[in-house]
Amino acid sequence: MSKKVLVYHTALSSDATPDDLDVLVEVKFVSDVLKKIGYEVEQRPFELDPLKKEFHSYNKIKKEIREINPLFIFNLVEAVEGKDSLAYLAPLLLGNLHINYTGCTAKSFLRTESKTIAKKFLNDNKIPTPYYLDLSNVEENSFLDKKFLIKSKTDHASKNLESTLIAGRDVKDALMNKNDERENFFAEEYIEGREFNISIVGSLKKGKVLPIPEMQFFDWPVDKPKIVGYSEKWDENSKDYNKLERTFEFSDSDKPLLEQLSKICKKCWDVFDLRGYARIDFRVSDENKPYVLEINANPCISPDAGFIAAAHQAGMTDEQVIKNIIKDSCKELANNKRMF
């Protein structure tokens, strides 16, 4: 049996931003671990233009896969043609080609890539999420007593996220100024409180919630909301860069909250049909009520990412993490003893 693995990753442009370039760190990390497990690794950018060269690029990828003949594909495609919203095209194409691949399916990506679509699934399944407004309903509601953040519906890694709070009476103007013809932005109610980014790894057909970290803000400006926007996360020259630390230490009084967060994560795993690995981002209000902010299919898996930190906290090695992802994603191969 072939022990080749093809690692597909986001194709980077010449003007790639720091968050885009981070995928190369993921590629190296995953490739190194796969080699330790005993695989031969090939790396390729996933180049698919759905607008101009659909059939040409489809056939190119199909030919590439046929020539390499991998046992499975490790999918690290986070965007297609520079758009996070098109990341679903990678698992969609691989699924149509009946190729085993890691991580979430196109169905999961389509449910989670748009934050407002994800919110509809959350609301339908009675999973609490902050209220939101967009240009379709902003005139029907008035929330003068609330504050909002303007967010991109489809961009991830804190792209286009600014830490400016918008009063309810100003939301419509803010959305009108921010949106282009695609209406890609929405307003989400700001939840004052604590922040948790919780990782889940596939295990025996169910999601295993890894040890829960709380994100703590240190030396944060008093008049600035406690969120990490793009510059704080990726710009090393930002004055508030890297002022966030995660902790896995909690008091006994937090145990009921941690159990509740874990329960919500497992429900999200099922509702969004996740597999392989995922991350759920939460805010917990001052009244101790948790709200799901985002569902992250195939989150960052670089060695310094929160996912790997949580796995290490659970006592898992890097090899065990990657094996779990493979087994949960490629179930028909999981029982083959020659696979590992």
10 Å CB burial of residue 211 (0-12, 13-18, 19+) is middle
* Per-residue tokens: 61: 């990828």
Let me know whether 36 and 140 are in one domain: no
Residue 276 identity (one-letter amino acid):
G
Let me know whether 206 and 304 are in one domain: yes
Least confident window among 14-18, 74-78, 324-328:
14-18
DSSP 101: B
Let me know whether 55 and 141 are in one domain: no
Residue 287 counted as domain residue: yes
**Angle, in degrees to the nearest 10, between helices 255-271 and 115-124:** 110
Residue 252 counted as domain residue: yes
Residue 284 counted as domain residue: yes
Q: How far apart are CA 174 and CA 154, in angstroms?
A: 18
Let me know whether 292 and 203 are in one domain: yes
Let me know whether 167 and 197 are in one domain: no
Let me know whether 255 and 280 are in one domain: yes
Let me know whether 91 and 209 are in one domain: no
Domain boundary among 173, 189, 205: 189
189 and 130 Cβ atoms separated by less than 8 Å: yes
Residue 232 counted as domain residue: no
Let me know whether 312 and 165 are in one domain: no
**How many domains does the chain fold into?**
3
Tokens 């696979």 — which residue? 339
Owning domain of residue 148: 132-189
Q: How far apart are CA 194 and CA 88, in angstroms?
A: 31
In sequence order, the β-bridge partners of residue 149 are 188
Residues contacting 140, CB < 8 A, separation 6+: none
The residue among 203 and 174 whose pLDDT is bigger is 174
Model confidence at 59, pLDDT cuts 50, 70, 90, reads: confident
Q: What is the pLDDT of residues 97-121, one digit of tens each?
A: 999 999 999 999 999 999 999 999 9
Residue 221 counted as domain residue: no
Residue 293 counted as domain residue: yes
Let me know whether 282 and 199 are in one domain: yes
Q: What is the pLDDT of residues 248-266, one digit of tens each?
A: 999 999 999 999 999 999 9
Residue 308 counted as domain residue: yes
Let me know whether 70 and 118 are in one domain: no
Let me know whether 207 and 79 are in one domain: no
Q: How far apart are CA 69 and CA 72, in angstroms?
A: 8
Q: How far apart are CA 173 and CA 80, in angstroms?
A: 31
pTM of the model: 0.91
1-38 burial: b if 16+ Cβ within 10 Å, else e: eeeebbbbbbbeeeeeeebbebbbebbebbbebbeebe
Residue 219 counted as domain residue: no
Q: How far apart are CA 73 and CA 77, in angstroms?
A: 11
Let me know whether 116 and 145 are in one domain: no
